[in-house]
Copies of this chain bind each other. A is one copy, B any other.
């Protein structure tokens, strides 16, 4: 059996958790697990932690020697270089040669891309973008990530850093919200789980409007709290989703002027809000798009389950190693 390794591992390195799974050639995730990203104060500790966790899972399920390659999706992951460079939502800075570090730790070849690019690959191979040549995946997690496909190809750009739509600035003056990237007015500062929580906090602390969200310490409000309150009919919570979705749709009108995609596909925790989020996205797009682009793109929610799209997408790189 030597030489035939029937599995790959996909890793989705997120700002909060790192999820990983063992994937077979048909795209089944045989087993997965996760570790909390923030508990590791430097990349070396993280590589030690994730390697131990992968070794444990792989040996329990199929044997580590059955793993052919590892694909890792990470914030600011550079496909060309195998590096993670100054990741905006992680506690680590500098240019981290994570692909080589993983290869050294586990003895398995590892490739890296942006976490959102990985999600886009997952959608293209296993998801709602099958057969599409031009689409944009927008991931709504701790931050706002994006994976762009044009003419059937992943857009990496000249240096591997294309597709940072969360850091397209929606507000170009000093009134824009501070973003984790050090600038102001980025889309991610509004349209992300963190952005939703900030909007909620702003309303609770600067107005006296009645809302269920007042039952929570403002500093502790999360997007999930807003979603739960909206589900109970809370007007303020519903308005927060309208504000978020509308801005996101308006931004999609700008993105459509760039690449005129067949579809925008939304992925990540926030999409669990369903129509609460999707309706204002479509409305924001239709009210703000250029006439020749109006009514054209589809607005879809990822059909892949939970974190698996990113894990599957990342894992796809593992077959090429």
Where the two chains meet, the residues of A that have a C-beta atom closer than 8 Å to any C-beta of B are 76, 85-86, 133-134, 148, 150-151, 153, 155-165, 167-172, 181-183, 247, 250, 253-262, 288, 290-293, 296-297
Bound form: Cα–Cα A303–B240 in Å: 49
In the complex, A221→B255 CA distance in Å?
33
A-B contact pairs, 26 of them (CB 8 A): A76-B292, A133-B158, A148-B259, A150-B153, A156-B260, A157-B261, A158-B261, A158-B296, A158-B297, A159-B296, A161-B292, A162-B260, A164-B290, A164-B292, A165-B258, A168-B257, A168-B258, A169-B250, A170-B172, A172-B250, A172-B288, A181-B290, A181-B291, A254-B254, A258-B258, A258-B259
The distance in angstroms between the C-alpha atoms of A9 and B240, with both chains bound, is: 55
* Contact (Cβ within 8 A) A257 B167: yes
Cross-chain contact A86 with B161 (CB below 8 angstroms): no
Q: Is B292 in contact with A86, judged by CB distance below 8 angstroms?
A: yes
Which chain B residue lies CB-closest to A135? B158
In the complex, the answer to whether B293 meets A161 with C-beta atoms within 8 Å is yes
A158 B257 Cβ-Cβ under 8 A: no
Contact A288 B258 (CB under 8 A): no
Report copies per complex: 2
**Bound complex: CA of A253 vs CA of B86, how far in Å?**
18
Give the docked Cα–Cα distance between A167 and B292 (Å).
11
Which among A157, A253, A288, A293 has the greatest number of chain B C-beta atoms within 10 A?
A157
Helix, strand, loop or mixed for chain A's interface? loop
Residue in chain B with minimal CB distance to A261: B158
Which partner residue on chain B sits nearest A151 by CB separation?
A: B153
CA distance A157 to B296 in the complex (A): 11
Q: Which of B134, B161, B258, B291 contacts A260 (CB 8 A)?
A: B161
Enumerate the 8 nearest inter-chain pairs by beta-carbon distance, A residue then B residue, closest first: A157-B260, A162-B260, A158-B262, A164-B257, A134-B158, A168-B254, A167-B290, A161-B260
What is the bound-complex CA distance between A182 and B289, given in angstroms? 10
CA–CA, A150 and B181, complex, Å:
25
Q: Which residues of B contact A183 (CB under 8 A)?
A: 288, 290
Q: Which B residue's beta carbon lies closest to that of A250?
A: B172
- Residues of chain B within 8 A (CB-CB) of A155 are 150-151, 258-259
Given A150-B151, A159-B260, A164-B257, 12 further pairs, Cβ under 8 A:
A86-B292, A134-B162, A158-B297, A159-B296, A161-B260, A163-B260, A165-B257, A169-B253, A169-B254, A170-B172, A182-B291, A254-B254
> How far, in Å, is A63 (CB) from chain B's closest CB?
38
In contact, B291 and A162 (Cβ under 8 angstroms): no
CB distance from A89 to the nearest CB of B (A): 13
**Closest B residue, CB atoms, query A297:** B158
Nearest-neighbor residue (CB-CB) of A162 within chain B: B260
**Which of A161, A170, A262 is packed against the most chain B CB atoms within 10 Å?**
A161
Query: In the complex, what's the smallest C-beta–C-beta distance from A4 to chain B, in angstroms?
Result: 33
Chain B residues within 8 Å of A86, by CB: 291-292
Is the Cβ of A258 less than 8 Å from the Cβ of B292?
Answer: no
State A151–B161 Cα separation when bound (angstroms).
14
